[in-house]
């Protein structure tokens, strides 16, 4: 009852009380025009919002002097709001504010809990196919297992929805439950230990993270002191873990009834809410970002376009298909807001480095293609790419489709890179992007130079078909050199064999010539299979596969194209319980 009075007091206090384009590459907020269809058709605070499969956003319920049942849709293609008919099945079946909402895998939206003449356990579903709401049965497991308002909710990777915390008739709760959309049922998690919130809180924020976990932060436990603390929910174990409550691992500003939304790059935007303490606290415009890579919060500059253009608490926020975030409604402490604004993340190049593995010194590797994707809502302009780092001369950009390119949200370009080590050991370089990111991206390139192979002489090839010359073989055709100096566990000998008739040989039917190799392994290698490929440049001329029996594998490399005179590269992959060993030989066919 005490918490109910506190929440009602906050609502009671409310009763007492052209698009600006930001420049540069930093993230920014921009206000939508506060009139007509570019603002909410009904001013509302403590509403719910969720993205729909067609890119629109559902906004429903809330408070505007009384609990609302009305709903409206935001269309990001035009930045406009349109009200749904305020009667029958096109409005909430129970007017409510302080509820939770989450998008479901089937495209529908779950709306549950909240307040209307009492704290609610009821739930309903919104179907975007016909813009209708349907109430779930208000008994048993088809309603919340604990009535709650100002709780948090977030979708999970398995399609379920986490619902946690909030205020009940008996006080602030730490309990949590899961909604299963396959049978529209709620199941309570054990209300003790790490299967409930580590800090009971209501008016907090929650957002799903790329690794499947859920961030939960802020809120209040008593209605007077606002929280900076945060915790993580792990759906793999249904457990909550508190983050260290100091420094960058907690909110940089304590806030209650703020908004949160995931960003394309995996970060989470957290903005607005009430700050200070008690219901005399101020409404905030400040914002911060949570980075799941480091589990840290970082405040955005609290001025100009890097904070909310209207300070607001009890608003709604939802990610949009273009990478932006819609923030709408709420209260400024005196009025129920209709205004809306957009958060536009900075351009960001999403790249992954490349490891070329072992490569013979002086021999070029196979080329690798690096894909650069813009994960920011602003256009990414790349003016140039530059090789640098420790060993830039060992790597080469052979094709560059990124320099001089502007990428819209989630567009891509490619850079093709090769590796030719000049020395043995680890080699490294970077590709620096000259672009308009706040911090331009750098792509890591690595590889290892290995010495050329040498070893004993192989056996002589058959008559009329010249074998492969070994570095120390006798006069005449020679076989493949043996194992490399760096690995004495393997030896390899090869020869050309003919499978055609004598007449065919006289016609030099080269497609009938095959390469026969014997790979001998030591007992310590425990090798089980050998795969071979004969290449020249980027073309494959022959391939083979054999099992290791009695310490030997007999390979017959079947030609894919004619084997003519010249140098080839024989690549071997010798696999066993300890992994795969890769060897490489240079062969000369005469």
Instruction: Count Cα neighbours of 46 within 13 Å in the Cβ-side half-sphere.
Output: 31
- The stretch 60-84 carries a mean pLDDT of 98
The answer on pLDDT for 476 being more than 60 is no
413 touches 400 (CB < 8 A): no
Model confidence at 532, pLDDT cuts 50, 70, 90, reads: confident
If one compares 490 and 304, the residue with the highest pLDDT of the two is 304
Q: What rounded mean pLDDT belongs to the chain?
A: 87
Model confidence at 278, pLDDT cuts 50, 70, 90, reads: low
Q: Quick one: which of 64, 61, 59 has its CA closest to 49?
A: 59
374-414 residue pLDDT tens: 999 999 999 999 999 999 999 999 999 999 999 999 999 99
Tell me how far apart the alpha carbons of residues 287 and 309 are, in angstroms, rounded to a whole number. 11
Model confidence at 566, pLDDT cuts 50, 70, 90, reads: confident
The one-character DSSP state at 55 is S
Bridge partners, residue 519, by sequence: 492, 553
Q: What is the pLDDT of residue 18?
A: 27
467 touches 496 (CB < 8 A): yes
Bridge partners, residue 400, by sequence: 415
Q: Name the 3-class secondary structure at 450.
A: strand
How distant, in Å, are the alpha carbons of 254, 405, 558 from that of 266? 22, 24, 48
Q: What is the pLDDT of residue 482?
A: 41
Which domains are assigned to the chain?
2-17+19-344 (2.120.10.80), 349-450 (2.60.40.10), 490-589 (2.60.40.10)
Strand pairing of 354-360 and 442-450? Answer: parallel
Q: What is the pLDDT of residue 523?
A: 55
Tell me how far apart the alpha carbons of residues 168 and 512 are, in angstroms, rounded to a whole number. 82
160-190 residue pLDDT tens: 999 999 999 999 999 999 999 999 999 999 9
Tell me how far apart the alpha carbons of residues 320 and 243 are, in angstroms, rounded to a whole number. 29
Tell me how far apart the alpha carbons of residues 475 and 323 are, in angstroms, rounded to a whole number. 70
416 touches 402 (CB < 8 A): no
422 touches 478 (CB < 8 A): no
Instruction: Count Cα neighbours of 148 within 13 Å in the Cβ-side half-sphere.
Output: 29
């Amino acid at each position: 009852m005490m918490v109910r009075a506190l929440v009602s007091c906050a609502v009671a206090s409310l009763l007492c009380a052209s698009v600006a384009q930001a420049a540069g590459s930093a993230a920014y907020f921009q206000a939508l025009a506060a009139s007509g269809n570019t603002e909410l058709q009904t001013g509302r605070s403590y509403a719910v919002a969720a993205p729909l499969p067609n890119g629109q956003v559902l906004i429903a319920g809330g408070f505007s002097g009384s609990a609302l049942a009305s709903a409206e849709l935001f269309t990001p293609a035009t930045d406009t709001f349109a009200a749904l008919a305020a009667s029958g099945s096109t409005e909430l079946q129970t007017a409510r504010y302080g509820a939770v909402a989450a998008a479901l895998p089937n495209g529908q939206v779950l709306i549950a809990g909240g307040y209307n003449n009492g704290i609610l356990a009821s739930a309903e579903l919104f179907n975007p196919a016909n813009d209708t709401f349907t109430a779930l049965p208000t008994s048993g497991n088809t309603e919340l297992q604990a009535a709650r308002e100002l709780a948090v909710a977030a979708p999970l990777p398995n399609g379920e929805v986490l619902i946690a915390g909030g205020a009940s008739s008996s006080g602030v709760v730490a309990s949590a439950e899961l909604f299963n959309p396959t049978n529209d049922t709620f199941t309570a998690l054990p209300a003790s230990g790490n299967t409930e919130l580590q800090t009971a809180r209501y008016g907090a924020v929650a957002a799903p993270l790329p690794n499947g976990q859920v961030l939960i932060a802020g809120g209040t436990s008593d209605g007077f002191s606002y929280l900076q603390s945060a915790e993580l929910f792990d759906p793999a174990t249904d457990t909550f873990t508190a983050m260290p409550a100091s420094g960058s691992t907690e909110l940089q500003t304590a806030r209650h009834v703020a908004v949160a939304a995931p960003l394309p790059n995996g970060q989470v935007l957290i903005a607005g809410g009430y700050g200070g303490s008690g219901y005399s606290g101020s409404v905030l415009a400040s914002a911060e970002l949570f980075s799941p890579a480091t589990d840290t919060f970082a405040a955005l500059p609290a001025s100009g376009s890097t904070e909310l253009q209207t300070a607001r608490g009890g608003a709604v926020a939802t990610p949009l298909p273009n990478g932006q975030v819609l923030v709408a409604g709420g209260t400024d402490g005196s009025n129920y807001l209709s205004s809306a604004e957009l958060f536009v993340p900075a351009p960001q190049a999403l790249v992954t480095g490349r490891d070329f593995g072992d490569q013979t010194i002086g021999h070029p590797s196979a080329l690798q293609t690096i894909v650069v994707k813009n994960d920011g809502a602003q256009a990414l302009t790349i003016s140039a790419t530059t090789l640098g780092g420790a060993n830039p001369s060992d790597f080469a950009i052979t094709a560059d489709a990124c320099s001089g390119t502007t990428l819209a949200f989630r567009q891509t370009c490619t850079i093709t890179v090769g590796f030719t080590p000049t020395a043995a050991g680890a080699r490294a370089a970077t590709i620096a992007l000259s672009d308009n990111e706040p911090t331009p991206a750098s792509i890591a390139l690595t590889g290892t130079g290995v010495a050329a192979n040498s070893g004993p002489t192989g056996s002589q090839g058959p008559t009329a078909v010249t074998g492969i010359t070994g570095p120390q073989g006798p006069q005449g055709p020679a076989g493949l050199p043996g194992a490399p100096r760096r690995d004495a566990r393997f030896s390899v000998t090869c020869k050309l064999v003919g499978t055609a008739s004598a007449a065919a040989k006289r016609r030099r039917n080269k497609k009938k010539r095959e390469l026969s190799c014997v790979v001998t392994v030591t007992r310590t290698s425990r090798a089980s299979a050998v795969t071979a490929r004969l290449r020249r440049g980027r073309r494959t001329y022959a391939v083979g596969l054999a099992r290791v029996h009695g310490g030997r594998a007999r390979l017959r490399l079947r030609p894919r194209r004619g084997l003519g005179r010249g140098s080839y590269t024989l690549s071997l992959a010798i696999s066993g319980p300890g992994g795969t060993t890769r060897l490489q030989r240079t062969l000369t066919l005469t």
